[in-house]
Amino acid sequence: MTESAVLTSLTDKLSASREAARVLATATTAQKNDALRAIAAAIGQNESRILPANELDLANGRENGLSSGLQDRLRLDPGRLAALSSAVLEIVALPDPIGDVVRGSRLENGLQLTQVRVPFGVVGAIYEARPNVTIDIAALALKSGNAVVLRGGSAAENTNRVLVEVIQSALVEVGLPLEAVQTIDEFGREGATQLMQARGYVDVLIPRGSAQLIDTVVRESKVPVIETGAGVVHVFLDDSADLTTAVEIVHNAKVQRPSVCNALETLLVSAGSAERLLPPVIERLRDAGVTIHGDARTAAIVGDVVPATDEDWSTEYMSLDLAVKVVDDLDDALAHINEYSTHHTESIITNDVARAERFLAEVDSAVVMVNASTRFTDGGEFGFGAEVGISTQKLHARGPMGLPELTSTKWIVRGSGQVRG
Nearest to 267 by CA among 304, 243, 238: 238
- 86 or 109, CB closer to a copy of itself? 109
CB of 66 to a copy of itself, least distance (A): 31
Exposure string over 290-306, b if 16+ CB within 10 A, otherwise e? bebbbbebbbebbeebe
Binding status of residue 243 toward a copy of itself by CB under 8 A: no
Angle at 272 between CA 269 and CA 276, to 5 degrees: 75
- Name the one range near a copy of itself by CB under 8 A: 72-80, 173-181, 265-273, 365-373: 365-373
Binding status of residue 370 toward a copy of itself by CB under 8 A: yes
**Cα-trace Rg, the chain:** 24
Give the CA-trace dihedral at 366, 372, 373, 379, to 10 degrees: -50
Nearest to 22 by CA among 170, 179, 152: 179
Binding status of residue 118 toward a copy of itself by CB under 8 A: yes
CB of 40 to a copy of itself, least distance (A): 27
Q: Give the span between the Cα atoms of 115 and 313, in whole angstroms.
A: 44
Q: Give the span between the Cα atoms of 225 and 205, in whole angstroms.
A: 5
Q: How many CB atoms lie within 10 A of CB 414?
A: 11
Query: Contact with a copy of itself (CB under 8 A): which of 59, 83, 93, 111?
Result: 111
Query: Contact with a copy of itself (CB under 8 A): which of 150, 368, 401, 403?
Result: 368
- Helices within 309-351 (DSSP H only): 310-313, 330-340
Binding status of residue 29 toward a copy of itself by CB under 8 A: no
- Name the one range near a copy of itself by CB under 8 A: 28-36, 295-303, 304-312, 392-400: 392-400
- 169 or 216, CB closer to a copy of itself? 216
- 169 or 245, CB closer to a copy of itself? 245
Angle at 351 between CA 345 and CA 357, to 5 degrees: 55
Residue 320, Cβ density class (10 Å: 0-12 exposed, 13-18 middle, ≥19 buried) = middle
Which residues 119-178 are close enough to bind a copy of itself by CB under 8 A?
120-121
Write the interaction track for a copy of itself spanning residues 48-87; mark x where CB under 8 A is met and - where it is not.
----------------------------------------
Binding site for a copy of itself (CB under 8 A): 22, 25-26, 105, 107, 111, 113, 115, 118, 120-121, 199, 203-204, 218-219, 222, 224-226, 242, 244-245, 248-249, 251-253, 256, 338, 347, 360-362, 364-373, 375-377, 381-383, 393-396, 398-400, 408-420
